[in-house]
Chain A
Amino acid sequence: MSERLCPRDEADVVEAVRWAVSNERTLDVAGSGSKAALGRHIQTDVTLELKGLSGVTLYEPEELVLSARAGTPVAQIEALVADAKQMMAFEPMDFGPLLGLPAGGGTLGGLMACNLAGPRRPSAGAARDHALGIRAVSGRGEAFKAGGRVVKNVTGYDLPRGLAGSYGTFAAFTELTIKVLPRPETVETLLVLGLDDAAAASVMSGAVGSYYDVSGAAHVPADVAARIPVVAGAGRSVTALRLEGVKPSILHRRGKLEEMLRARGALSFLDADGSHAFWRAMRDVLPFALAEGGNVDTAKAVWRVSVAPMAGASIGAALREAGAMSFYDWTGGLVWIEMADAEPHTRRVREAVAQAGGGHATLIRASAPVRAAEEVFQPLDAITGALVKRMKSGFDPGRVLSPGRMYAGV
Chain B
Amino acid sequence: MSGLVMPEPKADVLARRSQIIADLRAIVPGEGVIDTETEMRPFESDGVTAYRQLPLAVVLPSTTEQVSKVLAYAHANGIPVVPRGAGTSLSGGALPLADGILLGMGKFNRILDIDFANRSVVAQPGVTNLGITTAVAHEGFYYAPDPSSQIACTIGGNVGENSGGVHCLKYGLTTNNVLGVEMVLITGEIIRVGGKHLDSGGLDLLGLIVGSEGLLGVVTEVTVRILKKPETARAVLLGFPSSEAAGACVAAIIAAGIIPGGMEMMDRMMVHAAEAFLGAGYPLDVEALLIVELDGPEAEVNHLIDRVAEIGNGLGCMTLRASTSEEERVAFWAGRKAAFPAVGRISPDYLCMDGTIPRKALPEVLNRMEQMSEKYGLRCGNVFHAGDGNLHPLICYDANKPGELEKAEAFGADILLLCVEVGGVLTGEHGVGVEKRDLMPSMFDETDLAHQQRLKCAFDPDALLNPGKVFPVLHRCAELGRMHVSGGKLPFPDIPRF
Q: A209 vs B198: C-alpha distance in the bound complex, in angstroms?
A: 16
Secondary structure at the B interface, as helix, strand, loop or mixed, is loop
A154-B430, A157-B208 known; A60 vs B358 contact (CB < 8 Å): yes
User: Whole-angstrom distance from the CB of A121 to the nearest CB of chain B?
Assistant: 6
Instruction: Determine how close the nearest CB of chain B comes to the CB of A215; give it in whole angstroms.
Output: 12
Q: Collect the chain A residues with CB atoms within 8 Å of residue B112's CB.
A: none
Contact for A249 among B303, B426, B429, CB less than 8 A: B303
B202 x A362 contact (CB < 8 A)? yes
> Taking the complex as formed, is B352 at the interface, i.e. its CB lies under 8 A from any CB of chain A?
no
Closest B residue to A377 by beta carbon equals B202
Q: Is B107 an interface residue (CB 8 A)?
A: no
Which chain A residue lies CB-closest to B497? Answer: A5
Complex alpha-carbon distance, A362 and B436, angstroms: 41
Determine the distance from Cα of A150 to Cα of B440 in the docked complex, in whole angstroms: 16
Chain A residue nearest in CB terms to B118: A308
Is there an interface contact between B488 and A22, defined as CB atoms closer than 8 Å?
yes
Are A154 and B490 within 8 A (Cβ)? no
Q: Please indicate the chain A residues that have their CB under 8 angstroms from the CB of B185 in the complex.
A: 383, 387
- Cβ of A297 within 8 Å of any chain B Cβ, yes or no, is no
Do A378 and B198 touch across chains, with their CB atoms under 8 A apart? Answer: no
Kindly state whether residue B297 has any CB partner on chain A within 8 Å: yes
Partner of B198, one of A122, A181, A387: A122
Instruction: Report yes or no: A161 in contact with B436, Cβ–Cβ below 8 A.
Output: no
- The answer to whether the Cβ of B376 comes within 8 Å of any Cβ in the partner chain is no
Beta-carbon contact of B207 and A182 below 8 Å: no
- Are A142 and B451 within 8 A (Cβ)? yes
Beta-carbon contact of B458 and A252 below 8 Å: no
- The residue on B at minimum CB distance from A202 is B117
A354-386: CB near B (< 8 Å → 1, else 0) gives: 000111111000000000000001100101100
User: Is B346 part of the contact surface with A, judged by Cβ < 8 Å?
Assistant: no
Question: CB-defined interface of A156-198 with B at 8 Å, one 1/0 digit per residue?
Answer: 1111011111110000000000000111110000000000000
Q: Which of B238-246, B262-270, B477-485 contacts A (4 or more CB under 8 A)?
A: B477-485
Closest to B257 in A: A182
What total of A-B pairs shows CB separation below 8 Å? 327
CB–CB A357/B196 < 8 A: yes
Q: Identify A117's interface contact among B119, B199, B454, CB under 8 A.
A: B199
Contact with A along B463-498 (1 / 0, CB 8 A): 000000010000000001101011111101111111
A156 touches B200 (CB 8 A): no
Chain B contacts for A291, CB-based, 8 A: none
Chain A residues near B203 (CB-CB < 8 A): 162, 165-166, 388, 406
Contact of A359 with B202 in the complex, beta carbons under 8 Å: no
B299 within 8 A of A: yes
The yes or no answer to A79 lying at the interface (CB within 8 A) is no
In-complex Cβ contact of A21 among B172, B211, B483 (8 A): B483
- Asked whether A125 is an interface residue with its Cβ less than 8 Å from the other chain, the reply is yes
Name the A residues within 8 Å of B205 (CB-CB). Answer: 162, 384, 387-388
B449 cross-chain contacts in A, Cβ below 8 A: 156
Assess the B202–A360 pair: CB atoms within 8 A.
yes
Contact B485 A150 (CB under 8 A): no
Q: Which residues of B contact A361 (CB under 8 A)?
A: 201
Which chain B residues border A256 with CB–CB below 8 Å?
297
Max chain B Cβ within 10 angstroms of own Cβ: one of A7, A158, A159, A245: A158
Give per-residue flags for B296-339: 1 if the beta carbon is below 8 A from chain A beta carbons, else 0. Answer: 11111001100000000000000000000000000000000000
Closest Cβ of chain A to B255, distance in Å, is: 5
Interface string of A73-101 (1 = CB under 8 A from B): 00000000000010000000000000000
The answer to whether B358 touches A149 (Cβ under 8 A) is yes
> A248 is contacted by which of B299, B357, B452 (Cβ under 8 Å)?
B299
- A181 B389 Cβ-Cβ under 8 A: no
Q: How far is the CB of B489 from chain A (nearest CB, A)?
A: 5
Binding site for A on B (CB under 8 A): 115-120, 140-141, 161-162, 164, 168-169, 172-173, 175-176, 185, 189-191, 193, 195-205, 207-208, 210-212, 228, 230-231, 251, 254-259, 296-300, 303-304, 356-360, 385, 388-390, 423-432, 436, 440, 443-444, 447-452, 454-459, 461, 470, 480-481, 483, 485-490, 492-498
7 residue pairs, one from A and one from B, having the closest CB atoms: A360-B201, A249-B300, A394-B454, A161-B207, A182-B257, A162-B208, A252-B299
Report 27 cross-chain contacts, Cβ distance below 8 Å, ordered by A residue: A15-B494, A18-B485, A21-B483, A62-B251, A64-B254, A115-B199, A128-B204, A142-B450, A152-B173, A155-B432, A158-B207, A158-B211, A162-B204, A181-B259, A184-B257, A185-B257, A209-B116, A211-B140, A249-B297, A306-B198, A308-B120, A359-B195, A384-B191, A387-B458, A390-B457, A397-B483, A406-B203
